Structure 1
Amino acid sequence: MKERGDHMVEQINVLVVDDSAFMRKVISDMLNKDPYIHVVGTARNGKEALTKRVSLAPDVITLDVEMPVMDGISTLEQLMKQDPIPVVMISSLTKEGALQTLLAMELGAVDFVAKTSGAISLDLHVIEKEIVQKVKLASQANLINNTSKRHIQQMPSYRPFVTKHSTSSSNKRIIAIGTSTGGPKALKEVLTNLPKEIDAPIVIVQHMPSGFTQSLAQRLDTLSHIDVKEAAGGDILRNGTAYIAPGGSHMEIMKTGQAYSIHLNKGDMRRGHRPSVDVLFESLAKFPDLQKIAVIMTGMGSDGKAGLEKLKENGLCFSIAESVRTSVVYGMPKAAIEAQLVDEISDLDKISDHIMRHLNQFK
């Protein structure tokens, strides 16, 4: 136990898994610098990691994606099958590395950190703060509901939804989703359960670095009935298509004639994020005649709350937040709910149904 102010804080025990002795030492040294983290051991491959997980009982594992004997994905599958534990993947920035990392997110990894320059990163210190922060966050992550398929009773609406504006069929509709930590798996659950003929476009901000959002879009496109793509500047929004903001760029919606289009920019970060959910939501708030369903799912912090406030002030917007029971990290949904900006709280596996129900009510 460590003392932090007036509180006693449990020390986070970490197992570092990487086939490179150099990387094991660098990552261990970074983590051990923090007074609330203690590296209890290291492993050279997945097979050794599974054994040491039992003997050392870590709270969090950092897991390299590419390793001999047993790679990171196979190791993660075994970890989640035996007894789920928070895992932060350490990935390369290659296209193959990105695809493997996204698969790891689907399998239950809490988050990932991208190596800055290949398998052996000599400048890993650049992302030292990110590694420490994500290990700390992972130690608090909710894994139970992400590994269980048991039925969860539906939560009631947070407050009654009141239609303030015309809902004639001539008005256009849009679905806007914001998410962060735990988001790739949550997006898979929602997007794969939307019908191909959905009568609205979907715009998405997922906090993720450049180089990974394209792989995320491609992965979700292969799994979904709808089309999914990484957004490009000038894209005209089309029904039945989901547009994911590219890592490193804010995404805003603009009007081009009678259509709506995507505008990307490299403006300042908002609350440490680019892309930002607030930026997306605030751009949509400029169009009061556009009927909106805004969804905030798992993620750390409060991104989306300020934008949702703007949406609620300007036109028809029905808002949904993911429940505490299924959120990997409850920060973003909690911030919106506590601000009384949410019309309905939903477990993850029901969000797509609620989107469709309220979309149909708009007609």
Structure 2
Amino acid sequence: MIRVLIVDDSAFMRKLLHDFFSSDPSITIAGTARNGRDALDKMEACSPDVITLDVEMPVMDGLETLEKILATERLPVIMVSSSTKTGTETTIKCLSLGAFDFVTKPSGSISLDLYTVKEELIEKVKAAARDSLRSFGEIATPIEYSPHINRDHLKRRVVCIGTSTGGPKALQIVLEEIPAAIAAPIFVVQHMPVGFTSSLASRLDQLCDVHVKEAEDGEFAMDGYVYIAPGGKQMSVVSVGSRLKIELCREDAKGGHCPSVNHLFRSLAKIKFRQKIAVVMTGMGNDGTEGLQKLLEEGQTHAIAESEESAIVFGMPKSVIATGLVHKVRHVNDIAGAIMSYMK
């Protein structure tokens, strides 16, 4: 049985979450808490396997509570966030600190329609219980890179990264080690709802040498920039002469992901004059597998997958590795180095 500690300042929300989790025979309620301080006081007695943690609470909020939990425990924590500007920014910071994942309250701090994310909550609690929170340790020695200007279009490159659960922390680890002088644009699909990708891009831009931004429809990609697909939109990359243009749409994807890694990868497979470096990292499911196969069928693609050792959830990388088509399987600390090895 998976023991869950529910932390939320609303008695109504605690009751809803209690009922949701109790409906699954593999989950039992270890306890409930009305704020972060209450949760810390109850943790030892409750002995939870997973904690669901509200972001915005009085006395001690979710961010401060998470920091205290991670300082002493290796428990997976799922943030339960409202989609307010403050809520999204705090959630992104929590993910970067090591929260397992998050779920968005559909209509604010007290959501009568929380049932719409019931299955997502249960699925993520089960995934969190299976995959203990990992510590990524120290980053490897900084990469030395001297860009070689090559005017042969066939030698120009593009990097594309797909990730989901655990992705914000993994992206930070990888992108912090990519030099600003990288002679390629980087396109990223991170499974996130509307509103959160902008906060993620802003935070990563502050931490990385490369420029990180949420992608905009119609903009042309530049080397040394990272473009994150907006939540709720599909990102395609098309060639306009020798330049790369970003196109965004609201098309639903097979598998239900929007944005979708497969959608991005399929669009890049149609571009003939660039070599592609495709990376699939931590996440549930198999988004990215079909798209990566398409990239490799078209040629000029190097494929990298995150190893089971470091992946918070070894679903998406496991799926692409199972195809037998991946060139390198690397710990998250070594993925930036693997990317740059193909830039030489």
Task: Give TM-score, length-normalised by structure 2.
Answer: 0.94
CA change 1:150–1:269 in 2 (3 A) is closer
Deviation of 1:168 (Å): 7.4
Greater mean deviation of Cα atoms: 244-253 or 137-146: 137-146
Question: What SS does the aligned partner of 1:144 have?
Answer: coil
Matched, 1:113 2:138: no
- State the match for 1:339 in structure 2: 323
| Alpha-carbon distance in 1 for matches of 2:121, 2:227 | 28
Residues 232-258 of structure 1: CA deviation (Å, up to 9, x unaligned): 111101000000001111111111232
| Alpha-carbon distance in 2 for matches of 1:58, 1:149 | 28
Residues 189-240 of structure 1: CA deviation (Å, up to 9, x unaligned): 1111111111000000000001101111111111111111111111101000
- State the match for 1:161 in structure 2: none
Greater mean deviation of Cα atoms: 136-145 or 79-88: 136-145
Identity %: 50
Q: Output aligned runs, 1:223-262, within 5 Å.
A: 223-262=207-246
Matched, 1:68 2:52: no
- Aligned match for 1:204, one of 172, 188, 204: 188
Supply the AA of the counterpart residue of 2:305.
Answer: A
| Alpha-carbon distance in 1 for matches of 2:86, 2:153 | 44
Matched, 1:100 2:90: yes
Q: Retained in 2: the 8 A contact 1:295–1:321?
A: yes
| Alpha-carbon distance in 1 for matches of 2:124, 2:152 | 45
Give the CA RMSD over aligned residues.
1.4
Q: Retained in 1: the 8 A contact 2:88–2:196?
A: yes
Question: What SS does the aligned partner of 1:335 have?
Answer: helix
- State the match for 1:84 in structure 2: 74
| Alpha-carbon distance in 1 for matches of 2:254, 2:187 | 18
- Aligned match for 2:312, one of 325, 328, 332: 328
| Alpha-carbon distance in 2 for matches of 1:240, 1:149 | 24
Supply the AA of the counterpart residue of 1:144.
Answer: R
Greater mean deviation of Cα atoms: 117-126 or 95-104: 117-126
Residues 99-127 of structure 1: CA deviation (Å, up to 9, x unaligned): 10011101111110111111111211121
| Alpha-carbon distance in 2 for matches of 1:201, 1:40 | 47
| Alpha-carbon distance in 1 for matches of 2:35, 2:318 | 38
Matched, 1:284 2:268: yes
Supply the AA of the counterpart residue of 2:11.
Answer: A
Matched, 1:170 2:160: no
- State the match for 1:179 in structure 2: 163
- State the match for 1:54 in structure 2: 44
| Alpha-carbon distance in 2 for matches of 1:306, 1:272 | 14
Matched, 1:122 2:112: yes
Question: What SS does the aligned partner of 1:359 have?
Answer: coil
Deviation of 1:128 (Å): 1.2
Deviation of 1:150 (Å): 9.2
| Alpha-carbon distance in 2 for matches of 1:52, 1:341 | 48
Residues 260-301 of structure 1: CA deviation (Å, up to 9, x unaligned): 101112112221211111111111111232111000000011
Supply the AA of the counterpart residue of 2:280.
Answer: I
Question: What SS does the aligned partner of 1:174 have?
Answer: strand
CA change 1:275–1:331 in 2 (3 A) is same
Q: Retained in 2: the 8 A contact 1:175–1:293?
A: yes
- State the match for 2:256 in structure 1: 272
| Alpha-carbon distance in 2 for matches of 1:306, 1:37 | 33
| Alpha-carbon distance in 2 for matches of 1:327, 1:62 | 21
- State the match for 1:3 in structure 2: none
- Aligned match for 1:312, one of 265, 278, 296: 296
Q: How many pairs align?
A: 334
Structure 2: tracts of 5 or more residues without a match: 141-149
| Alpha-carbon distance in 2 for matches of 1:115, 1:71 | 16
Q: Retained in 1: the 8 A contact 2:157–2:184?
A: yes
Structure 1: tracts of 5 or more residues without a match: 1-10, 152-166
- State the match for 2:202 in structure 1: 218
Deviation of 1:58 (Å): 0.7
